[in-house]
Amino acid sequence: MRLLAFLFSALALLPPPPFDVAGGVTVIVNGVVYTPSLLKNKSVFLSGAKILKFVDSGAATDSLVSALKAANVIVKQVNADGGSIIPGLIDPHVHANGAGGEMGYGSRTPEAPLSELIKAGLTSIVGLLGTDTVTRGQNDLLAKLKGLGNDINTYMWIGGYREPGPTLTSGVQADILLIEEVIGVGELAISDHRSSWPSNQQLLATVSDARVAGLLAGKAGVVQFHVGSANTLLSPLWYIVNQTTIPITNLLPTHVTSRGPALIADALRWNKAGGYCDFTADSDDENDTLVTLLSWRQSSADLSHVTLSSDAYGSLPNFDSQGRLIGYGVGSPMVVLNTIRNLIINYSWPIDQAIQFNTVNVANVLGLTSRAGFLAEGGPADLVVLNRMSYLVDYSFARGEVLKTPTWVQKGMFEPPDKLTQRFGHRADEI
Ligand SMILES: *[C@@H]1O[C@H](CO)[C@@H](O)[C@H](O)[C@H]1NC(C)=O
Ligand SMILES: *[C@@H]1O[C@H](CO)[C@@H](O)[C@H](O)[C@H]1NC(C)=O
Ligand SMILES: *[C@@H]1O[C@H](CO)[C@@H](O)[C@H](O)[C@H]1NC(C)=O
Ligand SMILES: *[C@@H]1O[C@H](CO)[C@@H](O)[C@H](O)[C@H]1NC(C)=O
C-alpha cells in the first residue's frame, strides 16, 4: 500500500509530456529568439546543461531532429507558439531567507518559495541580508541559496545594512575568495536612518577589500549599496570615486528611483559618470521606476548601465517624514517581469531593450557573463519562453532542466501542492 502510494505520488511529481523521459535533446520551435539580440527564425536545441545549437526553422530543424532520432537520441519538442525565447532573468537583490521585521517579530517576512522565483522568469538570483543581521544570518542565507541552487543558479552578497556587516569566515576578502556563491558585499546601507552611519573611510576600506578579493577570485567584487532617503544621497559614493582610483563600476547603488527626484537626479549624474544603478522594480501601486526608465530613455542616459531588481521577500515599510511607520508589505519576485511586461505591452519597447536590465546589463556589472544573461551556442541552457500575448512565463529551463511548463512548475520540497495541477513539483528521481 505504501509502495503504491509512493509510486503514485512519484508519477504525479513528473513534469507533463514531453519531459517525462530522462535525457536526450530538447528542441524549442516556433519561438522568437533574443540572445538578447533578435535572432530570426531559429529553433533552439538544448543538450545536457548547454545550448547545443541555433538551427534555422523549417527544413534544417526537421532534418536535425530526424538525424538525432535515427541515432536513437530522445528528442523532446517544445512549441513556443510564437512566444519569445529569452535568457533566464537574473535578479540581483532577493531576500531569499526572508528579511524585514520593522514592525516587530511578527513582521519578519517569509523565505522565498522556489516556484515563485521560477514563475517570475528567474533562473539566477543574488541573495542577501538587509536591516536585520542579528536574527537573520549568513549561514542560514547560504544554506537557503544552496537549496534553491539545486534548481536555479544562486549567488550571494556578503554583509547587510551594517558596516562592518556579518561575514561567513574571517572577513569580506576571505568570503569572496573562499565561498563560491559570494560575488561581493551588500546591501550596505548609506543615507538611511536604518544604516550604521559608516564613515567614508570605513566604506572605502570595504569597497577596496571587495575589489581586491574580486580581482584575486575572478569575481566582480562589487559592493551593492542600499540608498535611503536622507539628503546625503550618493555623496558617500562620490567621495570614494573622487578620492581614489577605484573604478566606479565596483559600486552599485540600489533603490535609487524609490526616494524621490533628488536621488534620481544624483543617480543620473552617477550614470553619466559611467556608474551602474539598480532600480527596485515597481510594486502594484508604484510607478517611479517605470517613469524613470521612460525619462532616462528620452535623455542621454546610458541604459546599458541600469539593472532592475525585485527586493523580493524583503519588507516594504513606509515611513512618514517623522520616521513613523505608516505602511508595511512584502516584496514579490514578479515585479521585475511585470515592469518588463509593462514596457513591452504598454510602451512598445523592443523586447531586447526591455529585457537588458535583467540579462546582459546585470551579467556585465556582476561579472557573470560566462554564466548568465546571454543565449549562445555552448552557453548555459538557462532560458525562458514568454507567452506571445501576456509575456508571462510559459516555459523555464535552467541548466537544461525544465522548471516550468504552461501547466506545471517545479516546487521546493515542502511547498504545498499546486491546486491547479495537483502536482507536487519534485522530479521523481530526486525523491
Ligand atoms: C521567418 O518568420 C517569419 C515570421 O514568422 C516568416 O514570415 C518568414 O517567412 C520566416 N522566414 C523564413 C526564411 O523562414
Ligand atoms: C565628486 O566630484 C563631482 C564631479 O567632479 C562633484 O560634483 C562632487 O561634488 C564631488 N563629490 C564629493 C563628495 O567629493
Ligand atoms: C505615475 O503616477 C503618477 C501619480 O500617480 C501619475 O500622475 C502618472 O501619470 C504616472 N505615470 C505613468 C507613466 O504611468
Ligand atoms: C498596462 O497598462 C494598464 C493600464 O494602465 C495596466 O492596467 C496594466 O497592468 C499594464 N500592463 C502591464 C503588463 O503592466
- Surface-to-core class of residue 392, CB atoms within 10 Å of its CB (0-12 exposed, 13-18 middle, 19+ buried): middle
In which residue are the cell numbers 549561514 written? 139
* C-beta of residue 144 within 8 angstroms of C-beta of residue 95: no
Q: What is the 339 CA–ligand 3 centroid distance (Å)?
A: 14
Mutate to test the pocket of ligand 2, among 200, 242, 272 (most ligand atoms within 8 A of CB): 242
Give the C-alpha separation, 109 to 97, whole Å: 9
Q: What is the 339 CA–ligand 4 centroid distance (Å)?
A: 10
Instruction: Spell out the per-residue pLDDT of the chain, length 431, in tens.
Output: 555 555 555 555 677 777 765 678 999 999 999 999 999 999 999 999 999 999 999 999 999 999 999 999 999 999 999 999 999 999 999 999 999 898 899 999 999 999 999 999 999 999 999 999 999 999 999 999 999 999 999 999 999 999 999 999 999 999 999 999 999 999 999 999 999 999 999 999 999 999 999 999 999 999 999 999 999 999 999 999 999 999 999 999 999 999 999 999 999 999 999 999 999 999 988 999 999 999 999 999 999 999 999 999 998 888 888 888 888 889 999 999 999 999 999 999 999 999 999 999 999 999 999 999 999 999 999 999 999 999 999 999 999 999 999 999 999 999 987 554 433 333 333 22
Q: What is the 57 CA–ligand 1 centroid distance (Å)?
A: 8
* CA count, 13 A, side-chain hemisphere, 13: 18
Residue 227 DSSP SS3: strand
- Ligand nearest to C-alpha 43: 1
Index of the ligand 1 atom closest to the CA of residue 58 = 14
Q: For residue 223, which of 259, 191, 250, 190 has the smallest C-alpha distance?
A: 250
Catalytic center residues:
311
Nearest residue (by CA) to ligand 4, atom 10, is 342
- Surface-to-core class of residue 337, CB atoms within 10 Å of its CB (0-12 exposed, 13-18 middle, 19+ buried): buried
Handedness of CA 12, 13, 18, 23 (dihedral sign): negative
Q: Is the Cβ atom of 232 under 6 angstroms away from ligand 2?
A: no
Q: What is the 41 CA–ligand 1 centroid distance (Å)?
A: 6
* C-beta of residue 17 within 8 angstroms of C-beta of residue 11: no
Question: What is this structure's pTM?
Answer: 0.93
- Ligand nearest to C-alpha 234: 2
